[in-house]
């Protein structure tokens, strides 16, 4: 059994998709970020970065194993199941490159752009343009990579699961995929998988339906190290 600490965001979808693809038994544990659940001591013991997603794998030798950071979780689950990751050295090298590219480039750029699109509209035009341009650049990198390939590594893998959620939301971020036909084709191929649909739909009833209140904004934004001392 896996405890899956989750709030419905693109980072969380990466792991929910993998759990569904592998058919692993898991229990969703919602962590309400607007309420500040991510700062509770019991969650910090699992995720020192006070961010989702995180898991506790109860089936590991030696007892329950907590794992935080989406990339680390995907690698753990791929090794645990022997699925969705190449085992040869060259394939493993490419998996690491594209997984780390997502967690260091595509995800952060899209995440920052999302903040200025959804929570700071019109307040910081330079910052908005900076992250919109970087997100566009990342889409161009992915466009070149999948030229002549069905998926990022050729075969479907955790590299696709990691990048897909941040491309799924391209239109709300103001970036249509008209200029990226390879990415558009790839996006539809991943989206059509039943496990992907289940993973994205997980906890959809928890999604925000209104702008955050002032109290929620104080919890969600402008946090410093002081938040960890609560």
Superfamily of domain 2-83+208-229, CATH level 4: Glutaredoxin (3.40.30.10)
Report the percent of the chain where pLDDT is more than 70.
Answer: 98
Crossing angle of helices 125-145 and 107-118, in 10° steps, is 140
For the chain, the structural domain boundaries read 2-83+208-229, 89-192
pLDDT attached to residue 93: 98
pLDDT > 80? residue 219: no
DSSP notation for 57-84? ETTSTTS-EEEESHHHHHHHHHHHHT-S
pLDDT band at 178 (very low <50, low <70, confident <90, very high): very high
Q: pLDDT digits over 90-101, tens only?
A: 999 999 999 999
Q: What is the pTM (predicted TM-score) of this model?
A: 0.93
In terms of DSSP bridges, do strands 54-57 and 26-30 run parallel, antiparallel, or are they unpaired? unpaired
CATH number assigned to the domain covering 89-192: 1.20.1050.10
Cα 90 from Cα 107, distance rounded (Å): 24
pLDDT attached to residue 228: 63
Q: pLDDT digits over 86-136, tens only?
A: 999 999 999 999 999 999 999 999 999 999 998 888 889 999 999 999 999
Decide if 218 contacts 19 (C-beta within 8 A).
Answer: no
């Amino acid at each position: 059994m896996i405890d899956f600490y989750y709030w419905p965001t693109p980072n969380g979808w990466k792991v929910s998709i993998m759990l569904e693809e592998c058919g692993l038994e898991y229990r969703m544990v919602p962590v309400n970020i607007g309420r500040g659940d991510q700062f509770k001591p019991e969650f910090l013991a699992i995720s020192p970065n006070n961010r989702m997603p995180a898991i506790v794998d109860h089936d590991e030798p030696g007892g329950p194993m907590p794992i935080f950071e989406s990339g680390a979780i995907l690698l753990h689950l791929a090794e645990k199941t022997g699925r969705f990751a190449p085992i040869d050295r060259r394939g493993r090298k490419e998996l690491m490159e594209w997984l780390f590219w997502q967690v260091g480039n595509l995800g952060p750029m899209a995440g920052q752009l999302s903040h200025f699109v959804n929570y700071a509209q019109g307040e910081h035009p330079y910052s908005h343009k900076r992250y919109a341009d970087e997100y566009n650049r990342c889409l161009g990198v992915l466009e070149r990579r999948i030229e002549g390939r069905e998926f990022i590594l050729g075969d479907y893998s955790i590299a696709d699961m990691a990048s897909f959620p941040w491309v799924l939301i391209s239109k709300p971020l103001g970036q249509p995929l008209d200029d990226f036909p390879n990415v558009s084709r790839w996006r539809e191929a991943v989206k059509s998988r039943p496990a992907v649909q289940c993973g994205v739909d997980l906890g959809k009833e928890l999604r925000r339906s209104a702008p955050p209140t002032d109290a929620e904004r104080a919890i969600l934004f402008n946090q410093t190290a002081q938040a960890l001392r609560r």
